[in-house]
Chain A
């Protein structure tokens, strides 16, 4: 039995969509955590992604720190290490700068929102141009044998019809899902995770419970930064990047977070997944250049029909 080529192509892009979607999902989770807990529009999120990419590149390709793990596992280890390192970076950044315009200190000031926008935009510019000075403008990538190898899955028995699953993306997908699940558990089940959600819901009441809201925000900002950096490290195994790469992703991240429902971690993941699927499925019917246009058509449709996003709550009593 032979399967129509269109049918095969559909499953091929569906798989591609799921793989990319999981990584987009992880990026969105990082941003969604920061936005959900702190209500800060962070323009620098794409640049944290970029830092995760360069971190992985230098640790793995330039210095070969993990070369003992072999060429397959080293990039994954590098990307995972980017998490805690950029967690620390995000924590310090929040302590030194972001906390001046957010949280309890800013609660009394009406214009804090504008200060937040200017500050994160400034951080984004500094990170991008700093990266340009330090890393140079030459596009680069983390080389791994997985990037150009694929699993071939026989499809409906036909010898000629085979589905290709890129190994680098498949591994990145699995790691993304695992980290996303771990974060979901942390936010939902642990005491600190619940305190983060309480601080997000009502920071004043959280203070009355004895929750150090500024510290909770530092933790959330650090985790959000670290998660996005891991996603960056994973993307770097199959995507060429330069210091301005954050821009390619930051719009996708925001679209995913809004699509999933602001403030929902699970929603952010599915929002990112939806964008990955739409982006890949669109290639079936639209030219490559319109991939991202398709994302925003779907985005507008969803927001039109369900303004609160997939997992957002439409209304609640106060």
Chain B
């Protein structure tokens, strides 16, 4: 099996967290990035070649994170990955050239019978081998992964499926068009396993007809036109598309059951290794129900929060219900509640940052907070 990892969708409701990084490299669960989850699922399924598509100008954090691919074992003799820019495909299309050729070349060279497509928006740990078994059993062109979720876990651009009792897809809706009043809906997770030969011929035909350059969109449109099977995913899922869903996903990590379901399933989650020192808790630290990565110094009160690598939380501070990304410095007497502090944020002594559960305050990367927010 070979894999295509699409990372070109932009979600403005995640700003400023995605100001200068794609959703794929958004930090999550203290020491991971969103892309670690699909990438780990891919390598855990013994897929040894990955084709990744990113937007122009958004690749710095990607290269910084993935590097040579060592942590995902993508730097071996038999294991490889490729990074391509979405805009290059667009340019070819604008020049009326065959814009899918590079991808087709990759698919052909991989000599894989099957191809899996994933994106970084669905925070989950899926066993692609199990999906593959279903795909092989039904032997259809395409197998679509979905999960039954509540309304708040669906965003306007998502696809929702109507599924018959025999597992066949009867209809595909755009979430914003669907007037569903049920408690649960079948969220299309945009994880597809397809026959590679079929995909190649569809791409060839598609580029003749000016089909969409966005492969995720391309595949979605095919769900209904070919024989598709479905796979219902039952593990942990967070659909991350705005600040609230990101906040909820992070807070889920403080729930042991959800955390274990994501982190301690049969599959390991790989991330960039950092050589950090242990986290130190001083005599004045008071920590409850919180999660920490290494490299931090904790001298204040931390509750219901996630603290990433290399943070310093000074004495007499309060960090409650918040997400602290790497290298934050929270100085003496500061008080933070319902906030998301992006990387390298400094909070001056005595400053109060207060959001609400419904509307957490987001402090952008590198900000130096000198006044109350």
A and B interact: no
